[in-house]
Amino acid sequence: MINRLFGKDSKEGKESPLPAHIAVSIESGFNMLGRVLIGFVSDKVGRKSTFLVLLLTQVAVLICVPITIHTGNFWGFLVLVWLATLCYGGGFGMIPAFLSDMFGISNMSSCHGVILTGWSITSISGGLAFTNSINAHINHGGNPYDTDIYFVNFMASIRDRMFPALPGQIMRMRIFGRVFRVQWIYKAARSEDLDYMLSPVENRRKRVRFWNEGRRLRWEYMKKEDEQTEWEEYLALRAAQAQLMREPAI
Q: Which residue has the higher pLDDT, 117 or 141?
A: 117
Question: Poorest-confidence range of 12-26, 58-72, 134-148, 179-193?
Answer: 179-193
- Write down the pLDDT at residue 56: 94
The residue among 150 and 155 whose pLDDT is bigger is 150
* Whole-angstrom distance, CA of residue 61 vs CA of residue 56: 9
Q: For residue 90, what pLDDT band results from cuts at 50, 70 and 90?
A: very high
Residues 65-69: contacts with CB under 8 Å, at least 24 apart: 65/150, 66/147, 66/150, 66/151, 66/154, 69/5, 69/147, 69/150, 69/151
Overall residue count recorded for the chain in this entry: 250
* pLDDT higher than 60, residue 97: yes
Residue, of 50 and 207, whose pLDDT is higher: 50
Question: So where are the chain's domains?
Answer: 2-151, 158-246
The three-state secondary structure class of 185 is strand
| Ramachandran class of 162: left when φ > 0, alpha when ψ lies in -120 to 50, beta otherwise | alpha
Q: What is the mean pLDDT of the chain?
A: 80
What's the pLDDT tens digit per position in 113-137?
A: 999 999 899 888 888 887 887 777 7
Question: Beta strand 169-175 with 215-221: parallel, antiparallel or unpaired?
Answer: unpaired
pLDDT(53) > 90: yes
- Give bridge partners of residue 174 from the DSSP assignment: 179
Per the CB < 8 A criterion, the answer to whether 58 and 87 are in contact is yes
